Amino acid sequence: MLRPASAGIMGGLSAALLCGCGLVPGAVRTDVCVDWVAFETMQQRFDHAGAVLVGKPLKRDGESRSYGYQANVHVVEVEQVFKGGLGRGPVRVASMPVTCGQTYPHGDPLDDGDRKLIFLTEQNGEWFTMTPDQGTVQFPAGTPLPFSSG
């Protein structure tokens, strides 16, 4: 029979060995495959976003990671904020990557520099487009808002 101290040590070692694989350099790791929600309306996108703005991507500004995948980070010039605690001026936004395959199979939606509505979510202090496919929408000047913001 094990003493309580020995049992605790054995339990701790077992837990470390079973869940520590991702902590060991060079260890095999798996990435997450996300099943993205599909919003039926622009109002649903607005309601679920942490922040919503109209802006223009200006340039790429490094990379970040989300769900184990590389995400392109862009500097976005903010024209107007409809929701969230963002100010005017540039903000860094990572373009949410598609998981389980090619990162941007249809291209990075923030690479074109066009004026757009951007629906954001925050992860670890960084802003990301809410989903890979529904985080942005083209929004030419004069287009009416497709949601109620207030």
**In angstroms, how far apart are the furthest CA atoms of the chain?**
77
DSSP 16-64: HHHHGGGGSTT-------------SSHHHHHHH-SEEEEEEEEEEEEEE
57-115-48 Cα angle (round to 5): 85
- How do beta strands 89-94 and 69-83 pair? antiparallel
Inter-residue contact 119 to 54 (CB < 8 Å): no
- Write down the pTM of the prediction: 0.75
Q: Which residue has the tokens 């862009």?
A: 74
Kindly give the confidence (pLDDT) of every residue in the chain, 150 residues in length, as a single tens digit, with 9 standing for 90 and above: 545 444 444 444 333 333 333 344 444 445 677 778 899 999 999 999 999 999 999 999 888 777 777 889 999 999 999 999 897 779 999 999 887 777 788 889 999 989 999 999 998 899 999 999 999 999 999 999 999 987
* Contact present, 31 and 69 (Cβ < 8 Å): yes
